[in-house]
Chains A and B, each alone.
Chain A
């Protein structure tokens, strides 16, 4: 395997592309007891319409997530149990753009890795097991429907976008998942779970060649054809809807504002854009920003205010929100501050301060094996090496951040989602406090 040293990060990474197209990445972490394997597919909640064997296919909302649940079933039983017997902790998640399965353990790493590679690559669905899963996933959907953090985000996406599948919840709905059959699951597995559409990232103290050899022995010899995906027509940068409000059982109103940003296609520009977007968020509403500290001291916001810059296939946006008694006031203050920064520029000393903090934050995130694996996988799928961030970071200027704020953080690009406290909720909490 080829090794790359990253002296500024104190990291060493081994990489190899197998003949079947699978990218294998091993991030070496000596002295750690924990060993971590992360197996990801470039397939997520947004990939609902795609072309396979020349035919365009439309699949039900929530299918990628449903498939993730069912992949743990094997002809012999259930992979969860196999891994649990070895004391391994495993889980999986489906996001908008990727599905990932991971195992964390201290002992029997290669055995656990083989189980992971094999249950993800060999589908086994029966009508009975697919029907049974409806109940479990329906309860998962009910659970997130009661989660105001999820609601406020789902409503914001629905306001910001017209045609992009980012507006459709990753888990789908209780209704949409009823259309899923064993055959749809087999079709989607065949289309997306091919070695050339996947990446294996392992983090920990291990032998990189052995990892590659295990993957070679278990996975199919052939990759798969490239898949065309349809993410809808290119959208205007104006939101579909300016504002939406909903009542829920929360103690205080909650809000999330979003600003549509111009999407980037891929490669290292994407990493650069993500660093600029993160810096813009820190400068505008980060914990130590003038806006945050003033609004906190005035009692307009509390410690919950926060946000970030997100980039997904075909879309990019800034989101910022939290609990606030008067969400409109906070929204207007953010708009006003963005305008001011765009017009007058960012104070040089403050910019240097934020730059330092932001760089430190990126170094800090490398403590987490999961962060490393997710960043490596996303970087691979989108055409950049995440560990090159120190060099990219050095080249970003204050003018880049100012231009980003000027272009993207404007009322014309914005939508606002609010969750109001349902009547009676606050009274009840007051009573409990006594």
Chain B
């Protein structure tokens, strides 16, 4: 793997590999997550996705991609710590598997470059009809997170827990803010962000590095470069004392319980292990006790948001089991804080994390997500480095990490007129 500066504030990460059927490419801009701009960034990539000077509408783009043997080029918007990553990921069948040995890479990077640098315009502005239709679609998409109650509850927890912090802002901004973005505003925003946004390019596939660097350089030759917008440092805060409880009501048959914790521990590998034992695997304390032993739920798990220093627990329960579930989840955390675990729990957690890290090398999209995330966080941690660090974490460090975890917010989504 190599990472090189291709042009001013534009970096290319290159990973050679011949084991995949496809080549994977990505071009991502990074900016601090702000209420003002989160919706604009999300809307911008969706508008740029609608047409370029050469391929002015969906049918033309669709034809271009279909003729590249079903190549894919999709807008993406991600949250990495307190930064937003927005741009496009693309992939195409590797040259080796094409019936006539065609070369697709340059055609795909060209289109990627056009999305950024040569969008279709009228009178020097992005097309009004594209902005209007994508604005409506994006607002609808943000609202549709209510359809999946599990992710809706997870989002509501972060919104309440991190109110006033960047981390509480939705990945794509809020529907209300998106609806207020005018053509004029988006257009001037595009002109402002394009020259100064950090651009992270990524390639994983069988083409040699020189060819890849050449293809990207050509495709992004027209990218203006002026000024620099640096990604933000992610800020950690102490947990609320006492913790807060937030309850929403909705017409649902299953309750969703989410608990958010904060940690001030800087020991990332130890916290990763502690979280894996707590609720990170099907062998974890939450899974074995809340689900298997007490039959309180179908799922109960936890996630470690390592850039921000949060741990969130998510579970689907009967409304009436709220108290028992909260109590049991707390009891499992307390056990970790007292250092109570069997050897097999720690061994399983460690092996599971190691295995996940090793298999990342088998999926270009996971590699991209890791590499670009690290670049934005300004971290030089590598996958082999993390693997080595996890292998040397002691039991004392894990207990220490568990002791640094404090509850901040409990969120419960319950049925209407249900007793909880």
Chain A residues packing against B (C-beta within 8 Å):
8-10, 29-34, 78, 80-81, 84-91, 104-107, 132-137, 139-140, 142-143, 145-149, 248-252, 254, 287-290, 292-293, 296-297, 299, 302-303, 323, 353-354, 356-361, 363-364, 366-367, 422, 425-426, 428-430, 432-434
Tell me whether A89 and B352 are in contact (CB under 8 A). yes
Q: How far is the CB of A5 from chain B (nearest CB, A)?
A: 14
When chains A and B are docked, how far (Å) is the Cα of A29 from the Cα of B19? 8
Could you tell me if A422 and B251 are in contact, using CB atoms closer than 8 angstroms?
yes
The answer to whether A143 and B143 have CB atoms under 8 Å apart is no
- Cβ of B147 < 8 Å from any Cβ of A? yes
A363:B93 contact, CB within 8 angstroms? yes
A84 touches B141 (CB 8 A): no
- Contact residues, B36-84 vs A (CB, 8 A): 57-59, 61-63, 65-71
With A33-B362, A363-B21 known to touch, is A252 a contact of B143 (CB < 8 Å)? yes
- How far is B79's CA from A38's CA once the two chains are assembled, in angstroms? 34
Determine how close the nearest CB of chain B comes to the CB of A31; give it in whole angstroms.
Answer: 4
Name the residue in A31, A34, A135, A433 with the highest tally of chain B Cβ atoms < 10 Å from its Cβ.
A433
Chain B nearest CB from A275 CB (Å) reads 14
Give the size of the chain B interface in residues (CB under 8 angstroms): 79
Partner of A139, one of B66, B140, B288, B318: B318
Contacts of B266 in A (CB 8 A): none
Q: Pick from B20, B144, B150: contact of A252, CB below 8 A.
A: B144
Complex Cα spacing A139 to B18, Å: 44
Q: What is the distance, in angstroms, from A386's C-beta to the closest C-beta of chain B?
A: 15
Number of CB contacts from chain A to chain B under 8 A: 215
* Chain A CB within 8 A of B351 CB: yes
Contact B348 A87 (CB under 8 A): yes
Pairs across A and B, CB under 8 Å, 7 listed: A85-B347, A86-B348, A135-B296, A137-B298, A139-B296, A293-B58, A323-B144
Q: Give the chain B neighbours of A364 by CB distance below 8 A.
A: 21-22, 70, 91, 93
Task: Kindly specify which of B114-122, B170-178, B216-224, B400-408 makes contact with the partner chain.
Answer: B170-178
Q: A106-B359, A139-B318, A252-B143 are in contact. Are A86 and B69 (CB under 8 A)?
A: no
Q: Mark B258-296, 1 if CB is under 8 A from A, else 0.
A: 000000000000000000000001110000100110011
**Most chain-B Cβ atoms within 10 A of its Cβ — which of A10, A104, A356?**
A356
Q: Is the CB of B350 within 8 A of A87?
A: yes
Interface-lining segment among B131-139, B185-193, B367-375: B131-139
How far, in Å, is A136 (CB) from chain B's closest CB?
5
**B interface list, Cβ under 8 A from A:** 17-22, 57-59, 61-63, 65-71, 91-93, 96-97, 99, 129, 133, 136-137, 139-144, 146-150, 174-179, 250-254, 281-283, 288, 291-292, 295-299, 316-318, 344, 347-348, 350-356, 358-359, 361-362
With a cutoff of 8 Å between Cβ atoms, the chain B residues found around residue A30 in the complex are 19
CB contact between A299 and one of B59, B133, B283 (< 8 Å): that residue: B133
| CB-based contact A357/B362 at 8 Å | no
From A359, which residue of chain B is reached at the shortest CB distance?
B69
Main secondary structure of the interface of B (DSSP, over half): helix
Contacts A251-B144, A422-B251 hold; do A84 and B19 have CB atoms under 8 A apart?
no
User: Known contacts A87-B351, A107-B351, A299-B133; is A136 also within 8 Å of B298 by CB?
Assistant: yes
> Given A249-B251, A288-B58, A297-B58: A87 and B355 within 8 A (CB)?
yes
Chain B positions within 8 Å of A104 at CB level: 355, 359
List the B side residues contacting A84 at CB < 8 Å: 281-283, 348, 351-352
CA distance A86 to B283 in the complex (A): 11
* Residues of chain B lying within 8 A (CB to CB) of residue A135: 295-296
Complex: chain A residue closest to B353, CB-CB: A87
Q: Which residue of A lies closest to B132 (CB)?
A: A299
Q: Closest residue of chain B to A33, judged by CB?
A: B358
Give, as a whole number of angstroms, the nearest-CB distance from B143 to chain A.
4
Given A146-B253, A433-B139, residue A361 in contact with residue B70 (CB < 8 A): yes
Which residues of chain A have C-beta atoms less than 8 A from B298's C-beta? 136-137, 139-140, 142-143
Set B66, B137, B174: member contacting A357, Cβ < 8 A:
B66
CA distance A290 to B354 in the complex (A): 47
C-alpha gap A196/B356 in the complex (Å): 34
Q: Are A425 and B146 in contact, CB atoms less than 8 angstroms apart?
A: yes
> In the complex, what distance in Å separates the CA atom of A360 from the CA atom of B65?
10
A132 to B139, CA, bound (A): 43
Q: Is the CB of A353 within 8 A of B348?
A: no
A298 CB to nearest B CB, Å: 9
B63: which A residues are within 8 A, CB to CB? 288, 353
- Shortest Cβ distance from residue A421 to the other chain B in the assembled complex, whole angstroms: 9
B70 and A360 within 8 A (CB): yes
Given A139-B297, A146-B252, A323-B144, also A78-B292 (CB < 8 A) = yes
How far, in whole Å, are A214 and B192 apart by their CA atoms in the complex?
63
B252 touching A85, Cβ below 8 Å:
no
Assess the B254–A432 pair: CB atoms within 8 A: no
B129 CB to nearest A CB, Å: 8
